[in-house]
Amino acid sequence: MSLKLDTLIPEHIRLFDPYRPSPPDAELMRLNGLDHLHRLNNNENMLGPAPSVRELLADIEAGIVPIYPHGDSQDLREALSATLGPDRERFLVGNGSCELISSVVKAFCEPGDNIVTADKTFAVYEWVAAFSGVEPRLIPLDRKQRFDPDGMLAAVDDRTKLIFVCNPNNPTGTYWDEATMRRFLDAVDGRCIVVADEAYFEYVERPDYPDCIRLQDEYPNLVTFRTFSKMYALAALRVGYLCAGEDVTDIIRRTHVAYSVNSMAQMAARAAVLDRSPFIGETLAMVRRGREIIRETCDALGFTYIIGEGNYTMIKTPISDTLLQRKLLRRGFLVRTMTGFRFPNWIRVSLVREPVLEAFGETLTDLFR
Ligand SMILES: Cc1ncc(COP(=O)(O)O)c(C=O)c1O
């Protein structure tokens, strides 16, 4: 029997280039003869999770494994409601916030519609749109590497259903302050849904940074995404959430797969929300020190860099980013190349513990001295 695959595949799937994740750490270590690998590529928080979350995970009984999780993460949504304010019905929990991007696109877009976002940002908005037959309109960042509100507004038409604003932006760390966010939402005037992706919300220490959950009372078209993968250090468990007005959450829930968040993830995320230890303050101190180390290293080498919000920085490399990635990997440091983010010959470096970043700085200096 011959399979006529070509006739089965929609054009937008045939044209889509799949994302290829890096190999497992053990394989990278074997291939590069390493006994340790420092991960500076995925903006993980190696200080965590918080002690109470660690204890809870260590005590989980295998007896819970045969039982399905809560289908809609009710206990976790209750903890989010108690901590952040909005009613639990306004939260939707996903298998990472990546799953929520899919749910929102499925809920609001049909082929022929478009989404608006930036060209140099978290690529999953663009990818989900593209493989859903929805046009991604990618607006260049402005001269200061920020999302460009006027450019984005000019791209909106009557087929625009969603606007994704990554705030702060991954990878540049730039952000819209509250006045800019409000001006933008006023200009959109409810014509489409605006998603504020606040994956790095807990890392931002600026007084003018907007909390887009709080703004939802005034802007009913505003959807806020957050994740437990970054500050809360639960990346392996895959759990993120969105908050929106009850009507909007109700629409998105229709396209969201129930039971997609496992029991361990729900329990750990709930404990992380309720944790009151100094863990977040310690992480913020680590990130502040990390920024200083990168600044000192790059200044001494004469390298251009971007230090913004979030637990990451960008460095412009004098050689190809893939070549530098390979050289650093051989020395035990895994960084993210930025050509795929449309920043050719830049790397992104996660801000991790001081001794690791000091060693990274020494290695970079050694390579380019
Ligand atoms: C801006 C942004 N949004 C969303 C995500 C996805 O997070 P999650 O692990 O919750 O799927 C990431 C992960 O890197 C991110 O940088």
Do the domain assignments include residue 185?
yes
From residue 240, give the alpha-carbon distance in Å to each of 19, 94, 212, 300, 327: 21, 5, 16, 39, 34
Residues 36 and 133 in one domain: no
Q: Tell me the best of 230, 239, 312, 351 to mutate to test the pocket of ligand 1, counting ligand atoms within 8 Å of each CB and taking the most.
A: 230
**What number does the ligand 1 atom closest to the CA of 42 have?**
14
Q: Residue 245: its pLDDT value, please?
A: 98
Residue 337 in domain: yes
Report the nearest atom of ligand 1 relative to the CA of 169.
Answer: 1
Residues 196 and 294 reside in one and the same domain: no
User: Does residue 9 lie in a domain region?
Assistant: no
Same domain (yes/no): 66, 132: yes
> Do 100 and 157 share a domain, yes or no?
yes
- pLDDT given at position 83: 98
- Give the residue, by CA position, lying nearest to ligand 1 atom 3: 199
Q: Is 96 in the pocket of ligand 1 (CB under 6 A)?
A: yes
CA 171 – ligand 1 centroid, Å = 11
Q: Judge whether 4 lies within some domain.
A: no
Number of structural domains the chain divides into:
2
Mutate to test the pocket of ligand 1, among 19, 147, 170, 201 (most ligand atoms within 8 A of CB): 170
**Which stretches of the chain score pLDDT less than 70?**
none
Task: Judge whether 16 lies within some domain.
Answer: no
What is the residue-averaged pLDDT of the chain? 97
Residues 71 and 195 in one domain: yes
Instruction: Give nearest CA residue, ligand 1 atom 8.
Output: 96
Is residue 14 in a domain? no
* 179 plus 84 within the same structural domain: yes
What strands, in cross-sheet order, belong to the sheet with 305-307?
A: 305-307, 312-316, 346-350, 336-337
In short, whether 233's Cβ falls inside 6 Å of ligand 1 is no
Query: Which ligand 1 atom is nearest residue 97's CA?
Result: 10
Residue 2 domain flag:
no
pLDDT at residue 1, rounded to an integer:
84
- Ligand 1 center–CA 97 separation, angstroms: 6
Q: Specify the CATH number for the domain of residue 91.
A: 3.40.640.10
Domain end marker among 250, 274, 298: 274
* Same domain membership, residue 95 and residue 57: yes
Assign residue 286 the CATH number of its domain: 3.90.1150.10
* Residue at which a domain ends, from 251, 274, 297: 274
Protein residue with its CA nearest to atom 12 in ligand 1: 199
One domain, residues 183 and 282:
no
> What residue numbers bound the domain in which 349 lies?
21-43+278-368
Query: Given the CA of residue 227, which atom of ligand 1 is nearest to it?
Result: 10
Residue 369 confidence (pLDDT)? 82
**Which of 274, 306, 337 is the last residue in one of the domains?**
274
Please report the pLDDT score of residue 6 as a whole number.
86
Among 98, 128, 238, 314, the mutation site with the greatest number of ligand 1 atoms within 8 A of its Cβ is 98
Q: Whose CA is nearest to atom 7 of ligand 1?
A: 97
Reported as a single tens digit per residue, the pLDDT across 60-93 is: 999 999 999 999 999 999 999 999 999 999 999 9
Mutate to test the pocket of ligand 1, among 227, 234, 260 (most ligand atoms within 8 A of CB): 227
The answer to whether 340 and 123 are in contact (CB under 8 A) is yes
The answer as to whether 224 is a domain residue is yes
249 and 338 in a single domain? The answer is: no
Same domain, 192 and 326: no
Q: Closest ligand 1 atom to the C-alpha of 99?
A: 11
User: Cβ(168) to ligand 1 under 6 A?
Assistant: no
My answer on whether 37 and 121 are in the same domain is no
167 & 217 share domain: yes
Token pair of 212 as six digits: 């887009």
